[in-house]
Chains A and B, each alone.
Chain A
Amino acid sequence: MGTATGIIRALNSGIKHLAVKRFTLRYPEEKLKFVGDGYQFDPSTGVGIAGLKGRHMLFHDHCTGCQLCSIACEGVAEAIAMVKVPEEQKQNKKSIMPQIDYGKCVFCGLCVDACPFYALYMTNDYELSSFSKEGLIYTPAQLQVKPYVAQDSEIQISDRGATHG
């Protein structure tokens, strides 16, 4: 193939893309759709349920304060600390529950795998930025809240190319 034809072919391939739809996701306005409600784990079978590994969610009525999540995190990120919860939130005998520092967390989800009481799950919430270091530390009361996550676009493939529709 000659030099001229090669260059014309390259330019032609670029010109074709004027008709192709835009693939870019316009992030703050559009947000990606995920499968499921986040990564969960079933201790009876030992297999997880697919989902995004985002911010955790703690079910106070299931948590026994056994510290297994904190032990699982020791070799990974040391992000989980067991803290005393106030008397009115007390659910278990030890009255301690995990507090997670998202400045350290690597979102591997091994703490969810370690929990045998269905108490700790992960959610689709991934927007965790804060103006201070203290704002990244989530107390048991904050972890109890189920987050609202906007999910409105998914990759769609047509003859005119892929797009985040």
Chain B
Amino acid sequence: MTFNLPPGLALQKVDERIMTLNVGPQHPGSGHMRIIVQIDGDYIVACDPDPGYVHRGEEKMAEYRNYITNIPHLERPVIHDSCNILYPYVLGAEEILGIEVPERAKYVRVIASELNRCIYIMYWLAIYGIFLGHSTMFMWPAGDRELLIDLMEKMTGARVTHAHFVPGGVRNDLPPNFEDVCLRQVNYFEKRIKEYAAVFYDNPILISRTRDTGILSRQDAIRYGTTGSVLRASGVDYDLRVKEPYDVYDELDVHTNVLKEGDSYARSKIPWLDMMESCNIIRQALQKMPKSGSVRVKLKPNPKGKGLNSVYKRVESGRGSLGCYIVSDGKTEPYRVKLSVPSFRNLIALPNLLRGEKLGNMPSVYWSLNYWPVEADR
């Protein structure tokens, strides 16, 4: 008996030993995505990640809104890293609209971006902890995150979706006495995250669970095009804040954390080291920031791009390099906005990492890739 199958579909032979398991999309351990895993007993034979369940057409929506009203919806893919996902769009829109940003606004943006990076990583770390069954590591980051959310609330007026960056600077100036409050809370935050070492990162139970699982070699990490913490955990010294400094990062002293192992443990440790680096950057920025001055250039109500023009800007977000490509045809709306997101690029490494692993290690290896489903689908 023969079937005429539509293109793209294929019949699969059912093996006696191999079982196909769908993890997700309604599974709490996968997020809004499905991982199709084929297992032989307890060992993973093949794995096929299947993203796309939360695609909402952000790029198409951006073609129907002007440069300012694009801001609230473009930060929705990663609401707890919303300053960083807006950053490349705002930098690109400034170049297209021909705006020069005040010096103080650049420092305020760096502080907001670093605070937001910490907020994202704490959320990520909380879920990484609970995936490994370590409920203390779920409670502590979720609580300590509040210190920084409180700062962002004072700074921008919103707890998660800030809508703080605009082409031409930031929406509002810092509140009075913010520098002192920020310094105090960031110093305490740094002291707190150093305590995580004894409970989590030096814990022999965690090390035995995550050491030598899901190893990504240096060559593979470069070949797959992974970015951010995944790339740095595989021994590649690459951070856009150092290699392609934007705004005022060239005036600040940024140290890149690199580990050579490339396993799940190294990938989970890099974001934690990054948070301490973020605290350093915030302290430097608070010191070097001009104490007064404008933070926003006054724009016309509906700014227009200058002729046919295109620009590509990228920044280092909490997950890796995040790019934004904007094409303008001289109207008030952009002709095309393309987001190049780190989550999607890191996901490509997943099938290779899981082959030969035990099924119980799947959640920790998957989440160590610093993957956020909504951002990948955008």
B157 close to A110 (CB less than 8 A) = no
Q: Specify which chain B residues have a CB less than 8 angstroms from the CB of A2 in the assembled complex.
A: 204
A45 close to B298 (CB less than 8 A) = yes
Q: Specify which chain B residues have a CB less than 8 angstroms from the CB of A76 in the assembled complex.
A: 65, 69, 72-73
A155 close to B150 (CB less than 8 A) = yes
Q: Specify which chain B residues have a CB less than 8 angstroms from the CB of A32 in the assembled complex.
A: 150
Name the distance in Å between A116's Cβ and chain B's nearest Cβ.
9
A109 close to B298 (CB less than 8 A) = no
Q: Specify which chain A residues have a CB less than 8 angstroms from the CB of B297 in the assembled complex.
A: 46
Residue of B143, B202, B294 touching A23 (CB-CB under 8 A): B143
B69 close to A74 (CB less than 8 A) = yes
Q: Specify which chain A residues have a CB less than 8 angstroms from the CB of B70 in the assembled complex.
A: 75
Q: Specify which chain B residues have a CB less than 8 angstroms from the CB of A96 in the assembled complex.
A: none
Residue B146 interfacial (CB < 8 Å): yes
CA distance A134 to B149 in the complex (A): 32
Interface size on B, residues (CB 8 A): 47
CA distance A50 to B150 in the complex (A): 13
A155 close to B296 (CB less than 8 A) = no
Residue B19 interfacial (CB < 8 Å): no
Would you give the 0/1 interface string for B185-205, flagging 1 where the beta carbon is closer than 8 Å to chain A?
Answer: 100100000010011001111
B64 close to A75 (CB less than 8 A) = yes
B153 close to A48 (CB less than 8 A) = no
Residue A103 interfacial (CB < 8 Å): no
A155 close to B72 (CB less than 8 A) = no
Q: Specify which chain B residues have a CB less than 8 angstroms from the CB of A14 in the assembled complex.
A: 136, 199
Closest residue of chain A to B297 (Cβ to Cβ) is A46
Name the distance in Å between A53's Cβ and chain B's nearest Cβ.
4
CA distance A74 to B68 in the complex (A): 12
Name the distance in Å between B87's Cβ and chain A's nearest Cβ.
17
A6 close to B202 (CB less than 8 A) = yes
Binds A, one of B170-178, B238-246, B252-260: B170-178
A52 close to B299 (CB less than 8 A) = no
Residue A19 interfacial (CB < 8 Å): no
Residue A135 interfacial (CB < 8 Å): no
Closest residue of chain A to B68 (Cβ to Cβ) is A110
Closest residue of chain A to B102 (Cβ to Cβ) is A47
Known pairs A34-B153, A51-B157; A110 contacts B173 (CB<8 A)? no
Closest residue of chain A to B153 (Cβ to Cβ) is A52
Residue B66 interfacial (CB < 8 Å): yes
Closest residue of chain A to B188 (Cβ to Cβ) is A157
A10 close to B161 (CB less than 8 A) = no
In A98-124, the 8 Å CB interface with B consists of 106-110, 113-114, 122
Q: Specify which chain A residues have a CB less than 8 angstroms from the CB of B188 in the assembled complex.
A: 157, 162
Residue B350 interfacial (CB < 8 Å): no
The number of chain A residues touching the other chain, given as a range, is 35 or more
Residue A165 interfacial (CB < 8 Å): no
Name the distance in Å between B249's Cβ and chain A's nearest Cβ.
24
Closest residue of chain A to B196 (Cβ to Cβ) is A13
In A23-48, the 8 Å CB interface with B consists of 23-25, 32, 34-36, 38-39, 41, 45-48
Q: Specify which chain A residues have a CB less than 8 angstroms from the CB of B66 in the assembled complex.
A: 75
Q: Specify which chain A residues have a CB less than 8 angstroms from the CB of B198 in the assembled complex.
A: 9-10, 12-13
B203 close to A155 (CB less than 8 A) = no
CA distance A106 to B72 in the complex (A): 8
Q: Specify which chain A residues have a CB less than 8 angstroms from the CB of B270 in the assembled complex.
A: none
CA distance A12 to B203 in the complex (A): 12
CA distance A46 to B172 in the complex (A): 9
B71 close to A108 (CB less than 8 A) = yes
Residue A128 interfacial (CB < 8 Å): no
Residue A85 interfacial (CB < 8 Å): no
Would you give the 0/1 interface string for B263-306, flagging 1 where the beta carbon is closer than 8 Å to chain A?
Answer: 00000000000000000000000000000001111110100000
Name the distance in Å between B281's Cβ and chain A's nearest Cβ.
21
A10 close to B199 (CB less than 8 A) = yes
* Contact sample, A vs B, 10 pairs, CB 8 Å cutoff: A2-B204, A9-B198, A10-B198, A25-B146, A34-B153, A50-B156, A50-B174, A108-B163, A110-B68, A155-B146
Which chain B residues have a beta carbon within 8 Å of chain A's beta carbons? 64-66, 68-73, 136, 143, 146-147, 150, 153-158, 161, 163, 171-176, 178, 184-185, 188, 195, 198-199, 202-205, 207, 294-299, 301
Which chain A residues have a beta carbon within 8 Å of chain B's beta carbons? 1-3, 6-7, 9-10, 12-14, 23-25, 32, 34-36, 38-39, 41, 45-53, 68, 72, 74-77, 106-110, 113-114, 122, 155, 157, 162
Known pairs A75-B70, A155-B150; list 12 more (Cβ under 8 Å).
Answer: A13-B199, A41-B172, A45-B298, A46-B297, A50-B157, A50-B173, A50-B178, A75-B69, A106-B161, A107-B158, A108-B161, A113-B171
